Amino acid sequence: MDRKTKLIVMIEDRTAKVGVIGLGYVGLPLAIHFGKSGFSVVGFDLDSVKIEKLLKGESYIKHVSIDPVTEMIEAGSFDVTSDFDRLKDVDCILICVPTPLTDKMEPDLTYLVETTETIARHFRAGQLIVLESTTYPGTTEEMVLPRLEKEGMTVGSDFFLAYSPEREDPGNENFSASNTPKVVGGITPSCLEVAQALYSCITHVVPVSSTKVAELTKLLENTFRSVNIALVNELKVLAHKMNIDLFEVIDAAATKPFGYTPFYPGPGLGGHCIPIDPFYLSWKAREYDFSTRFIHLAGEINISMPYYVIEKTVEALNRNRKSMNGSRILVLGVAYKRDVDDDRESPGYAIMKMLLEKGAEVIYNDPWIPRLRPTRKYDFQMESTPLTPETLAGTDAVIIVTDHSDYDFVDIVRHSHLVIDTRNATKGIEDAGKKIVMA
């Protein structure tokens, strides 16, 4: 029996062991889904804090329940470790490491390169390696494959390499890895066959002709969102000048049963995907002397939105005979989206930075993020301020950055002097005192 057939048989009868490298917002849910599907799973991560928390039955991602992890660990079907020597013990290796941007907005593949080189030192014949991290077309073939090829080891017969982009949507209760179709591309037909067999165990698989197609698929999905969000963000600014409620316009347009998909404006883009992924594509496009004008324009508009929020805040304070310098401002929510504890690339940080630069005293509240963690750009050293009537009354303005469902916006408006709403969170709330400003 050749290696491909042997591995597929092991996958189908669940005797293959799955290793997941990177136990973050993508890797941990993926490990859980494979564990629930009957596989023995080993989770790898360099962060010892994550390992300790999982072993103690504590979740470090609020929207991911620790219960299935604890059940799997107790049953002996899930193990977590920072010992990468154990990579040789697993049959399928899934790479879920960060792929951020540098300060110059260029791909930073440091984590991926280091992970690939670690795998190269420990992997063996007969294994499947799948990259899930978002990256530019050609990464799997041009960067990962050469580092894995060893003397006498041939891809497609001795080992198998594929790309399958993650499609996690943190906080989405309707879709998860178990009911979201999985796009899969292999370096060779045999690689695709093995990877397709693996992912078919947890969800419907969409096979494509190459790893490049799979890589570009992910970038198209998020560039589509970035461009459309930029469109409604730009229209929001225009609608404010025209004294038109753009959210009402969007809801009306959404009644059209064909040819339209609703997107909603906000204070800017956040998360690890939409603010970053399009720039991976635009960077790669330069290799072909091609300018991705839509991507750059969308990026400019979305990056400008925190500045617009500050502009509207300054105007609103002026109407209240207040200057930004010396005002006490409460930023409501720093997570990049509702009901998650993910603050990566959050526009809330850019807003806080500009407020501080203009002399404001800044505090924040976020029930999902009790303490601000250092990020690639910011290190605020702040803790969430309790949201009480006294806190609200003691501020000159409240800026709604994230519309968590925990928030009682009626109560927030009642006790505040001024509310800058970037999310349409105060829709339908009586505003007799003219406290609410849409931004």
- Paired with 107 in beta bridges are 101
| Sign of the dihedral defined by the CA atoms of residues 322, 328, 329, 332, in that order | negative
How far apart CA 147 and CA 30 sit, in angstroms, is 25
Q: Is 273 a catalytic residue?
A: yes
Please count the residues of the chain.
Answer: 439
Choose the catalytic residue: 92, 96, 191, 273. Answer: 273
| Tokens read off for 88 | 């040789």
Give the CA angle between residues 248, 227, 210 to the nearest 5°.
135
Q: In the 3-class helix/strand/coil scheme, how is the chain assigned residue by residue?
A: CCHHHHHHHHHHCCCCEEEEECCCCCHHHHHHHHHHCCCEEEEECCCHHHHHHHHCCCCCCCCCCCHHHHHHHHHCCEEEECCHHHHHHCCEEEECCCCCECCCCCECCHHHHHHHHHHHHHCCCCCEEEECCCCCCCHHHHHHHHHHCCCCCCECCCEEEEECCCCCCCCCCCCCCCCCCEEEEECCHHHHHHHHHHHCCCCCEEEECCHHHHHHHHHHHHHHHHHHHHHHHHHHHHHHHCCCCHHHHHHHHCCCCCCCCCCCCCCCCCCCCCCCHHHHHHHHHHHHCCCCHHHHHHHHHHHHHHHHHHHHHHHHHHHCCCCCCCCEEEEECCCCCCCCCCCCCCHHHHHHHHHHHCCCEEEEECCCCCECCCCCCCCCCCECCCCCHHHHHCCCEEEECCCCCCCCHHHHHHHCCCEEECCCCCCCCCCCCCCEEEC
Which region, left, alpha or beta, applies to residue 375 given φ > 0 means left and ψ of -120 to 50 means alpha?
beta
Q: Indicate the Cα dihedral angle 347, 350, 356, 362, nearest 10°.
A: 20
User: What's the one-letter identity of residue 20?
Assistant: V
Q: Which residues are catalytically annotated?
A: 273
